[in-house]
């Protein structure tokens, strides 16, 4: 009875009808699992691409700090305070580096977010293609996700709904 009600609801929602005795195979995709997989895959793809740039910024931050410490130590070792000209030269150079650093960080973060969005879009398109291919190969009547499903019985295996999330992730991982 539940299968028939689900079949009718699906048919009405999608504007098609199936013969009464037709075998129906419904797939379910977990939005949470897929989102987690796609976020992790996006992060993995960008890690190598941006690792050098983030490391360079960290190095520059440390270099500024080290420069200040070195100047302070050298000033103490001489046993006298630096001349006004030496102090101004140091302050000017250090200030220039300190002003450039936030701008570099901002630019790198913007570039990272842009690439993150590009990669996420590519992966979502790949996921949709993988889901469609899996649906055809395994002869599903329909595949739903959490965002398009109001309720799924926790024992969905008993009612004919098959969670294909792991299959999609496995298929995508094999092609990435």
Q: Which domains does the chain carry?
A: 2-175 (3.30.910.20)
Instruction: Note whether 104 and 57 are within 8 A (CB).
Output: yes
pLDDT tens by residue, 97-123: 888 899 999 999 999 999 999 999 999
Rounded alpha-carbon distances, angstroms, from residue 146 to 8, 52, 73, 108, 155:
19, 38, 62, 35, 15
The predicted structure's pLDDT at residue 153:
53
- pLDDT 10s digits, 26-53: 888 888 999 999 999 999 999 989 999 9
- What 3-state DSSP class applies to 22? coil
């Amino acid at each position: 009875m539940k299968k028939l009600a689900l079949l009718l609801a699906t048919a009405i929602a999608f504007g098609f009808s199936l013969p009464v005795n037709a075998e129906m195979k419904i797939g379910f995709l977990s939005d949470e699992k897929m989102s987690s997989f796609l976020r992790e895959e996006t992060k993995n793809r960008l890690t190598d691409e941006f690792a050098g740039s983030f490391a360079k910024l960290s190095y520059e931050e440390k270099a500024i700090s080290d420069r200040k410490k070195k100047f302070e130590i050298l000033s103490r070792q001489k046993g006298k305070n630096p001349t006004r000209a030496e102090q101004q030269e140091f302050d000017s150079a250090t200030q220039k580096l300190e002003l450039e650093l936030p701008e570099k960080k901002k630019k790198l973060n913007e570039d990272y977010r842009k690439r993150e969005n590009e990669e996420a879009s590519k992966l979502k398109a790949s996921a949709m293609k993988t889901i469609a291919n899996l649906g055809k190969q395994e002869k599903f009547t329909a595949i739903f996700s959490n965002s398009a499903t109001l309720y799924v019985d926790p024992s969905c295996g008993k009612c004919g709904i098959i969670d294909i999330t792991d299959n999609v992730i496995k298929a995508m991982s094999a092609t990435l």
